[in-house]
Amino acid sequence: MPKTNSAKKRVSVIARKREENRYIRSTMTTMIKNFRVVVANDADKAKSMLSDIVSYINSAKSKGIIHQNNASRKIARLNIMLDKAKNKQPEVVLPKKVEVVEEKPAQKVAKKPVKKPVAKKAEVVSEEKATKTVAKE
């Protein structure tokens, strides 16, 4: 618990600012959610909403409630959503049953590894030892 008067005042000021920042952040997310719903239904109405949302995001950025990069990312994503809604092409409807024929890949012929005879190496080593032992005698 704060003991000095200035520390007590700071606690109350911080609590007040926290509530205000929380209100601004929640309002911003609500505006974005509403924009997403409107974009799906009416792109013209969404265009008019976008300018209000962008100004609200920029004011939150200038107050330091959200980071500059965060604000830029939100605005860019909203613009992309609006562009996609404007340029939305009609979806192509495929028939229900479509047979997909898959081509079989060509089988690869595995090369057999060349094995060196192990026994001959052992024989060579044993012959060398034998010659060395014979030479010593």
Q: Please report, for the chain, the start and end positions of each structural domain, with discontinuous segments joined by +.
A: 5-86
Whole-number pLDDT of residue 136: 54
Give 84's DSSP letter: H
Q: How far apart are CA 65 and CA 19, in angstroms?
A: 12
Please give the helix or strand (H or E) that residue 75 lies within, else none. Answer: helix 68-86
**Domain 5-86, CATH among 1.10.1270.20, 3.40.710.10, 1.20.58.110, 3.40.47.40:** 1.20.58.110
pLDDT surpassing 60 at residue 70: yes
Q: What is the mean pLDDT of residues 38-49?
A: 89
Map residue 63 onto helix, strand or coil: helix
Burial of 65-103, coded b for 16+ CB within 10 Å and e otherwise, reads: bbeeeebeebbeebeebbeebeeeeeeeeeeeeeeeeee
Q: Give 76's pLDDT tier (boundaries 50, 70, 90).
A: very high
The pTM assigned to this predicted structure is 0.59
pLDDT in tens, 96-112: 665 666 666 666 666 67
Q: Give 128's pLDDT tier (boundaries 50, 70, 90).
A: low
Average pLDDT over the chain reads 81
pLDDT in tens, 8-40: 999 999 999 999 999 999 999 999 999 999 998
Q: How far apart are CA 93 and CA 74, in angstroms?
A: 33
